[in-house]
Amino acid sequence: MAEKSEVARLRSLAQLDADAVGAYDAALARIPEPLVRERLGEFRADHLRHVRELNGFIHHFGGAPVDLRPDLKGAAMKGLTAMSSMMGTEAALVAMLGNEEFSNRAYDLALRFDWSPDVRVLIERHREDERRHILWIREAVRTRPWERASAHDGSEVQA
CATH number where 11 lies: 1.20.1260.10
Q: Is residue 158 part of a domain?
A: no
- Indicate if the pLDDT at residue 154 is higher than 90: no
pLDDT digits (tens, 9 = 90+) for 39-95: 999 999 999 999 999 999 999 999 999 998 767 676 667 666 767 667 778 889 999
Segments forming the whole domain that contains residue 60: 4-151
Q: Is residue 25 part of a domain?
A: yes
Q: What is the pLDDT of residue 69?
A: 77
Q: Is residue 86 part of a domain?
A: yes
Q: What's this model's pTM, rounded to 2 decimal places? A: 0.86
Q: What is the pLDDT of residue 157?
A: 33
- Indicate if the pLDDT at residue 156 is higher than 50: no
Q: Is residue 56 part of a domain?
A: yes
The three-state (H, E, C) secondary structure of the chain, written as one string: CCCHHHHHHHHHHHHHHHHHHHHHHHHHCCCCCHHHHHHHHHHHHHHHHHHHHHHHHHHHCCCCCCCCCCCHHHHHHHHHHHHHHCCCHHHHHHHHHHHHHHHHHHHHHHCCCCCCHHHHHHHHHHHHHHHHHHHHHHHHHHHCHHHHHHHHCCCCCCC
Q: What is the pLDDT of residue 155?
A: 46
Q: Is residue 159 part of a domain?
A: no
Q: What is the count of structural domains for the chain?
A: 1
Q: Is residue 156 part of a domain?
A: no
Q: Is residue 157 part of a domain?
A: no
Q: Is residue 29 part of a domain?
A: yes
